[in-house]
Structure 1
Amino acid sequence: MEHRRDKAFIAIGMAVCCSAFSCAAHAKGSFNFYGMLDAGSTFTNNEFSKSGWKQSMSSDSYFGLSGYEEIGKGTKAIFTLESAFDINNGKLKESRQLFGNKAFAGLSSEELGTITIGRQTDSMVDYVAPLSMTGSAFGADKFAHPYDNDNLSNSFRTNNSVKYESPELYGLKLGAMYGFSNKPGHFADNRAYSVGASYHLGGLSLAAAYLQQNENAAVSKGGLSNPDGAVGHDSPFHAGRRQTWGAGAAYTVGPLTAGVVLSQTHLSNGISISPEASGKPAGIDLHGKSADFKNAEVNLRYEITPQLGVGGAYTYTRADVAGSRQNWQQYSMETDYSLSKRTNVYLQGAYQRVNNGANATINGMDASGKGTQLALSVGMKHMF
């Protein structure tokens, strides 16, 4: 059954490619096939009390299709389809969805902005993430704040969404997104919305965003009452209401960029923290209680030469989860060397410490059996 489903996915992908090439041949526009391959290995000193090497990448490998057609007066019809996969075994990621990373189409105008419909990223990812370590050019999933609670590492996307982005005006850009519940008569059951803004002036970059998700708080950890809504199973948190705020600033002077990011996520009528996020086989059941995460990050990035760069960050997170207070400290660093315009090698490390008897859990790794965890990775990325 699984083999047939994979064949169906391949057939669909080939049909999309053929259709896109056909359209490009008959209309004034562009079609692009792109992607990234990330292959590496990670040493961890403590993963369920075990140490050793495992195949683990800096981030997901992916391929995508994008294009546009000019329809006149500075307006274009646009689309993007993007799929994430595990390079070690070729399996699809993002809950085995063919285009789980991105899938949207819309219109883009030089004067009026861009509006798109489909499965898309929220404003925290679009505006605040680029100022954080995990969302920067030195980014890695392992550098995310605990459980990626603020989604700066783009752990999940929003289904059934309509998104608008304004054109940049005097350095200012605005955006908003709304994800529909897709369930008649249950407007607020599994919906999401977000707003964001960014401002650039010389070497200064500022950004802020807000994200809210609503689900049925009566649902147990086993599933969602409306799985076809805006919030899918890839979200690390499920709650009656999730609210995330974030803001960041960065300043670039020559080869040096320094930044700071502040964020907070609050869960009301909590349902669960998923196994994928927590690294624990059974996940964390919140039993209707609240949870609150506050994150503060400072980061530095330095371009030593045009080929060699280094970046580092320190993150402090305070969390109150179902009545238990925990404090995380995480140190992250990466050095990156470009072999060519499209290929680079990297060495990165993350160290995390948490108190009150909780298990340290670096994002993307299985939980530690102790309050500390170290992950050291070496790998190569190839862009096409």
Structure 2
Amino acid sequence: MNFAKPLFGALALTAAGGAWAQSSVTLYGLLDEGINYVNNSQTAKAGAPNGRTGGPVWSMTTGLAQASRWGLRGTEDLGNGYKAIFVVESGFDVGTGRLQQGGTFFGRQAYIGLTSPNWGSVSLGRQYDSIVDVIGPMQAGSYAGGAFADHPGDIDNVADSQRINNSIKYTSPKFAGVTLTGLYSFGGAAGSFGRNSIWSVGARFDSGPLSVAAGYMHINNPNQSFYGNNSTGSTTANNLGATSGVQVNPIYGGYASAGKMQIVASAAQYTLGAFILGLGYSNIRFQNLNDPASGTLSLTNPFGYTGNAAFNNYNIYTAYYITPALVAGASYNYLRGGAVNGKDSAAYQTINASLDYFLSKRTDVYLAGAYMKGSGVDSTNQPSVPYLVTLTPANTQSQVVARIGIRHKF
């Protein structure tokens, strides 16, 4: 058989494609590192109440103003305005070099898709949900202290602590100021199309200085599909966080046995010259507790909860550009809920403030501080203690933290 003609034809097609297709690949990233002081942080102690004690700590941590990451973003012009797109993005700890997102290499994002000027874009892979897409840019963490200003424990995922695996997402073009988006994640469970599946929808309206957004997410078996979807995820254990000894997530770690989880979130932001004001509300429901599909119930539901546990979160934030290079921010957050089976609810109040100075377009230094107070009974059936994202929970019902940090974008 003569292979010369087919081979020549294939090479010719490849060369022709390269002649008209305009493609680009961009390497980008961000490094954020700083020094924290925390007045009270849990540490293990044999014989102490609940197996732990608390004390002040100095530490160096990564990713407060923004999570540290590097990535590759690519596009290829397919003609008539159509483009192929891809993103692969990896999170890491600047201080140690370790991978973030449970050790998943491209844990932040990994997707491929197509986009057009008239029909929007479709993408497939590990992606942000619709709530993150429409509301994420309008939240206190963007203006008033980074992760310290996130909703407690990022309970509604507005600050994108979790990503969605095996998902297909549609994002519309902006029409009359409105952008729509929807996502569906395939659970991949044999014999059950819905098991471990996730879906979300969102809408955002932008008109001059005003932006308004709302989103909804429905999660089946969140301990597996949402919190356990990375390299260290377990099919048996509590992926929301340890509930005994030194805790990981006392705010809602005790509700890992939920069969379903629902999040409704909304936000509004108004910009007046150098002044920014934002408001947010979300409702979070852990439903059908004690579901055997969540894992080993002695680990996912050690307190024997049944029924539903609901939370409401309220947030207000502001930022002011003192100069184009200097911005001050502040926020207040109130989270309440978690009552179940006669257990009282918990409440968490957080006050944040920050000052950010830009040395250049790519490099800034910042100061950030937060005070959080807990009351009531948390998900671990103990007196509630503060839990700020990126930190170890307190061992008392209040916690103060201060940080000085530096961020560089490339």
TM-score interval, smaller chain: 0.7 to 0.9
Q: Which amino acid aligns with 1:29?
A: S
Q: CA deviation at 1:358?
A: 1.3
Question: C-alpha separation between the residues in 1 aligned to 2:197 and 2:275?
Answer: 40
Q: Given the alignment, which residue of 370, 378, 383 partners 2:404?
A: 378
> Is the 2:196–2:224 contact (alpha carbons within 8 Å) kept by the matching residues of 1?
no
| C-alpha spacing 1:54/1:321, structure 2 compared with 1 (3 Å) | farther
Q: Cα distance, 1:293 vs. partner?
A: 1.3
Instruction: From the superposition, tell whether residues 286 and 176 of structure 1 become closer, same or farther in structure 2 (CA, over 3 Å).
Output: farther
1:29 lines up with 2:46 in the alignment: no
Give the corresponding residue for 1:124. Answer: 131
Name the aligned partner's letter for residue 45 of structure 1. Answer: N
SS in 1 for 2:148: helix
CA separation of 1:24 and 1:87: change in aligned 2, threshold 3 A: farther
Q: Does the C-alpha gap of structure 1 residues 147 and 216 become closer, same or farther in structure 2, counting only changes over 3 Å?
A: closer
Query: For the residues of structure 2 that align with 1:24 and 1:360, how far apart are their CA atoms?
Result: 56
Question: For structure 2, which runs of at least 5 residues remain unmatched after alignment?
Answer: 1-16, 43-53, 242-252, 292-298, 377-382
Deviates more, 1:247-256 or 1:234-243: 234-243
> 1:257 matched to which residue of 2?
276
| Structure 1 residue 340 corresponds to structure 2 residue 360 | yes
* Corresponding position of 1:287: 304
Question: In the superposition, relative to structure 1, how do residues 261 and 53 fare at CA in structure 2: closer, same or farther (>3 Å)?
Answer: same
> 1:80-119 alignment to 2 at 5 Å?
80-119=87-126
Distance 2:174 2:76 in 1: 22
Q: Do the aligned residues in 1 keep the contact of 2:186 with 2:197 (CA within 8 Å)?
A: yes
Instruction: Identify which of 59, 64, 70 aligns with 1:54.
Output: 59
C-alpha distance in structure 2 between counterparts of 1:234 and 1:168, whole Å:
36
Change (3 A) 1:165 1:218: closer
Residue number in structure 1 paired with 2:184: 178
- Give the direction of change, closer, same or farther, for the CA distance of 1:26–1:192 in structure 2 (3 Å limit): same
Distance 1:383 1:234, change over 3 A: farther
User: Do 2:182 and 2:199's aligned partners in 1 also have CA atoms closer than 8 Å?
Assistant: yes
Q: How far is the alpha carbon of 1:269 from its aligned partner?
A: 2.3
Comparing 106-115 with 236-245, which one deviates more in the overlay?
236-245
Q: 1:316 aligned to 334, 339, 350, which one?
A: 334
Paired AA for residue 36 in structure 2: T
RMSD between aligned residues: 2.8
Q: Say which SS state the counterpart of residue 210 (structure 1) adopts.
A: strand
Q: What CA distance in whole angstroms lies between the structure 2 residues aligned with 1:330 and 1:217?
A: 26
Pick from 38, 42, 49 the counterpart of residue 44 of structure 1: 38
The structure-2 alpha-carbon separation of the partners of 1:205 and 1:340, relative to structure 1 and needing over 3 Å to count, comes to same
Structure 2 residue matching 1:56: 3-state secondary structure: strand
| 1:349 is the counterpart of 2:369 | yes
- 1:217 Cα deviation from its structure 2 partner: 8.6
Bigger Rg over Cα: 2
Task: Find the aligned partners of 2:350 and 2:330 in 1 and give their Cα distance.
Answer: 11
Pairs aligned (count): 347
Structure 2 length normalisation: TM-score?
Answer: 0.79
Distance of 1:100 and 1:52 partners within structure 2: 29
Q: For the structure 1 residues 360 and 234, does the alpha-carbon distance in structure 2 shift closer, same or farther, using more than 3 Å as the test?
A: closer
Q: Secondary structure at the match of 2:389?
A: coil
Offset of residue 182 of structure 1: 1.3
Deviation, 1:142, is 2.0
In the alignment, does 2:217 pair up with 1:200?
no
Among 59, 77, 83, the alignment partner of 1:76 is: 83
Partner-residue secondary structure (3-state), 1:304: strand
SS in 1 for 2:188: coil
Aligned twin of 2:349: 329
1:3-45 deviation digits (Å, cap 9, x = unpaired):
xxxxxxxxxxxxxxxxxxxx99994121100000111011000
* TM superposition shift of 1:284: 7.5
8 Å Cα contact 1:217/1:270 also seen in 2:
no
Match status 1:269 vs 2:283: no
| Residue type of the alignment partner of 2:82 | T
Rate the CA distance shift 1:288–1:115 in 2: closer, same or farther, 3 A: farther
Partners of 1:163 and 1:285 lie apart in 2 by 36
Q: How does 1:122-201 map to 2 (within 5 A)?
A: 122-134=129-141, 136-138=142-144, 140-201=146-207
TM norm structure 1:
0.84
* CA deviation vs aligned residue, 1:128-153 (integer Å, no higher than 9, x gap): 1211112x255622211122110011
Counterpart position of 2:324: 306
Q: Secondary structure at the match of 1:174?
A: strand
**Contact 1:215–1:240 under 8 Å retained in 2:** yes
Measured in 2, the distance between the counterparts of 1:222 and 1:110 equals 36
What is the CA-CA distance between 1:270 and the residue it aligns to? 3.2
CA distance in 2: counterparts of 1:319 and 1:162, whole angstroms:
32
Using the alignment, how far apart are the partners of 1:307 and 1:98 within structure 2? Answer: 34
